[in-house]
Amino acid sequence: NAGVTQTPKFRVLKTGQSMTLLCAQDMNHEYMYWYRQDPGMGLRLIHYSVGEGTTAKGEVPDGYNVSRLKKQNFLLGLESAAPSQTSVYFCASRPPIPSDTQYFGPGTRLTVL
Amino acid sequence: ELKVEQNPLFLSMQEGKNYTIYCNYSTTSDRLYWYRQDPGKSLESLFVLLSNGAVKQEGRLMASLDTKARLSTLHITAAVHDLSATYFCAGRGLNSGYALNFGKGTSLLVTP
């Protein structure tokens, strides 16, 4: 049971390049989330999914797209990276309500030059 | 929209001292979470507080919740260096798929 994993762990992009971050969970969770963490800002919700095939916008969705084609995977895409997207990205998943626990992945550190 | 505010944002304290971190939230949150984060690491769950008056303790850390005041506290007793980390509180809103709304974090440094 690997929990929540994220690929890659680190990445450096140039402005305008694209990339996809992969989040995978092996706990059969319905709910999955992408957050970004910036210094002094805490974690902010980018997009979330309440089940396979569904996605929705969070607090800071601009510049990102997501897909949930398989229940275990939640992909975060940057079509044209900008320096403002330099951040640490965390994926999380959770079992259905009324469970209280949210499980976080190890994070992806992204730098956009 | 649920807003979460923590204070202080930075805290330097001596070993052996006591201190409290405060977490205020703006609207109804059906859960209140406390997490710890070490530099370069992910978030480690410390406490989940479910109801008014809830109190949970683990080692030198004790968390409490007052839903009427929309206030949670994280009390540190007799601090030790190993407690140096960033502590986040988070509320769980009723929208956004029960995602968490985080405070900005309290960076704690415990010195000899």
Nearest to B87 by CA among A110, A43, A102, A58: A43
Model confidence pLDDT, tens digit, residues B40-57:
999 999 999 988 889 999
CB A74 within 8 Å of CB A34:
yes
Distance of CA B12 to the CA centre of its chain: 16
Question: What confidence category does residue B81 fall into, taking pLDDT thresholds of 50, 70 and 90?
Answer: very high
Model confidence pLDDT, tens digit, residues B60-74:
999 999 999 999 999
A54–chain B Cβ distance below 8 A for any pair: no
Residues 6+ apart with CB under 8 A from B19: B11, B13, B75, B76, B79
Lowest mean pLDDT among A39-43, A48-52, A74-78, B44-48: A39-43
Q: What is the token pair recorded at A77?
A: 């895409």
Residues in A 80-99 with any Cβ partner in B closer than 8 A: 90, 92, 94, 97
Between CA A24 and CA A32 the distance in angstroms is 9
Share of chain A above pLDDT 70, in %: 99
Closest residue in chain A to residue B44, using alpha carbons only = A104
